[in-house]
Amino acid sequence: MLFVSLIFLVVFLDQASKLWIVGNFTLYESLPVIPGLFSLTYLTNTGAAFGLLAGEQGVWRQIFFVGVAVVALTAIVFLYRKLRSVSAWYVIALGLIAGGAIGNLIDRVRLGSVIDFLDLYLGTRHWPAFNIADSAITVGVAIFLIMNLFFDKSAGSGSSPNR
């Protein structure tokens, strides 16, 4: 139940925030929230993370990104079935990753690009803009890596450190 609930929560927050941005901003419009550090900026990304493949044209790009998302979601379901009894942290991590992947997949299928709006920067140096789905994926991957690096999966509880 936690896994599915997290997926729905992430997808809802992601899509609701993107809907709000689209309804209240024009493309490329920016609103400083913390001047010199953080703005809400309406952007679209036709590529992958950090704009990878953004300049590529053609329907193959969309097919590629949708295919990668479907493969990733299949792998997430497989890992969930394997690791759900080990620790709730795996369930949380995989739920966040799946929710984020679905949130961005909805944009790709619906719009042909992903809506990004969280803009972190220091002076003139900007981190690539991102969204709630990207954040959920990042946090989920971090939790998953921490669990794999520091906790013993064979312990059954997922709470004992590796030796």
Q: Is 66 helix (H, G, I), strand (E, B) or coil?
A: helix
Is 152 catalytic? The answer is: no
Catalytic residue among 14, 107, 116, 119: 116
Backbone angles phi, psi at 56, to 5 degrees: -75, 140
Catalytic residue among 14, 107, 119, 134: 134
Name the strands in the sheet holding 125-126, side by side, starting at the edge strand that comes first in the sequence. Answer: 30-34, 38-45, 114-122, 125-126
Is 134 catalytic? The answer is: yes
Torsion of CA 142, 148, 154, 156, to 10 degrees: -10
Name the H helices within the chain: 2-24, 59-83, 88-111, 132-150
Spacing of C-alpha 32 from chain mean position: 23
Residues with catalytic annotation?
116, 134
